[in-house]
Structure 1
């Protein structure tokens, strides 16, 4: 078993230079859904697919910068209902299993045999689920802020746990919900985020998104992504995220990811976890490390959940450099 590496504040790697997409398009994936994807880096480079968080988030240019653009062929896509994918904020036919099928459609369309799969937060969930379902298509896994979508984790962040560390932010999160509904915040928010009235959706989405934004970084609320302030983004983010959490991530059983971790044994893996991650606490990453000791596990002691915290950037960039050498 590899001992966990604890990252401190010594010399740290930064993000790779900004780079532009060399191709982009939409592909139909069933029903009304069309997903937007882009390719960046080197056309004939080593392929990787980069999975955004949420669920309900979207790709952004910073996500391209964790991989050396002179060596990697990076593929990014907006998941169903997210970002530039169409229709926006749609919950119809929007499940973990549909997203896994979308990754496979994208892989086949681009002629990729196997690829490195990179994801943080919900992106780590989807990466694990994809690798368990299609291990023969995964050359390596690079994960950050591990999230297993268990009731333990959901209760911590949306019911009681993180609320004790951020009582001021929690008070704002509770504000749209009457006291008699606050015993089940996910259900209360789900009712509002699926309301036919956009005004009701917007109020709930703003509070839901602010709660996550306020807790994601040890640098404070100023590190909150600016998109959280855009109401169209906030509605898609909150609706889809709450939809998945109200349905337990659409997994057939509690703990499905850990119960199927044997499928990952032959896949090289890197796991990066902020010590003070409040959104996806280290307990889940530690459970994964215990079940999958073959993976390299690195704790960043001065980081929370955000992927852009310096220690997390350093660890991820080193991980992708090491993943490049996997053959």
Structure 2
């Protein structure tokens, strides 16, 4: 069995992932009670946790709103807005959180969402989309598409710009951002300026070499991926096929016309190669794309920048990308 000590990571990263490995893994998803407990947890916004996650900037106001999805369900949205901008109309970036379409919560992403809002001077809309196994695919994708349509409408309020939206997310959230961009390109009606996909899950066939190479990787293993997809897709006759673009955006037949896309991958991640493949496919389709693979870091590293050597650089790259496309000419 591969151990944490055998991975080429800085000591502080090894120490963190060793601690996380005691409470994470496919066993978290064996019962409804275990899933609920895992979903509810988030790192408190205080020392020593903020040494790892980064602080929540005090210059950001966090609040909540909601919108009505296509089936009438009220979907909550956690919002982040720089203080003292009440009279401004800010560019909007939607964030879709990670967790394998099964776990995760919006509050756990306060450090990164608030940081992007503060540094890029945008309104971040963190969507609390419905999770599996209670809600199978494509429910999460539908909620996220509906969130983008809501953000592009007057219903989302007067304080955000309803055009030039950004779509962003990590892991399963990166999958959803890519899916939403493809759906909106096909259906029209929403002006999307850019995507930012952070170690995204893009190929549910799990056939890329890095899935086998890093099957026992820290943070995310092949067993975790199998469990997530089993919950998300189910086994009913009407379940979406793993190659359906609503599940695997890498397998879309046509990628032309998508917005400029940033893809960030982690070198010690089973998802690494599908991110790289998507970047190449976008490039071949004529889409502006920038791909950065960060060495010596596992899946999820953007959420614990204090325990890595490159987490801060990845966050800076993300903010620069958002600023460049949400506020052209104001990078820095």
When normalised by structure 2's length, the TM-score is 0.60
Aligned alpha-carbon RMSD (Å)? 3.9
* Cα 1:256/1:286, change in 2 over 3 Å: closer
Structure with greater helix share of residues: 1
State the number of aligned residues.
Answer: 242
* Cα 1:63/1:260, change in 2 over 3 Å: farther
Match of 2:315 in 1: 316
Match of 1:94 in 2: 139
Is residue 110 of structure 1 aligned with residue 101 of structure 2? no
Higher RCO, 1 vs 2 (CA within 8 Å, ≥6 residues apart): 1
Stretches of structure 1 lacking an aligned partner (at least 5 in a row): 1-7, 83-87, 175-184, 187-207, 209-236
Q: Give the Cα–Cα distance (whole angstroms) in 1 for the partners of residues 179 and 323 of structure 2.
A: 22
* Cα 1:104/1:22, change in 2 over 3 Å: same
Q: Quick one: which of 204, 214, 218 aligns to 1:150?
A: 204
SS of 1:259 mapped into structure 2: coil
Match of 1:204 in 2: none
* Cα 1:161/1:320, change in 2 over 3 Å: same
SS of 1:323 mapped into structure 2: helix
| CA shift digits 1:255-283 (9 cap, x unpaired) | 6555332122xx222211111113x2x21
| 1:148 Cα offset (Å) | 1.2
Stretches of structure 2 lacking an aligned partner (at least 5 in a row): 1-8, 11-52
The 5 A counterparts of 1:1-327 are 17-19=56-58, 21-31=61-71, 33-42=73-82, 43=86, 44=88, 45-53=90-98, 54-56=100-102, 57-60=104-107, 61-69=110-118, 71-81=121-131, 89-91=134-136, 94-108=139-153, 109-110=155-156, 112-135=162-185, 137-153=191-207, 162-163=214-215, 186=226, 208=227, 241=232, 243=234, 247=240, 248=242, 251=245, 257-264=251-258, 267-278=259-270, 280=271, 282-293=272-283, 294-306=288-300, 307-310=302-305, 311-326=310-325, 327=328
Q: Are 2:171 and 2:200, in contact at CA under 8 Å, matched by a contact in 1? A: yes
* Cα 1:322/1:133, change in 2 over 3 Å: same
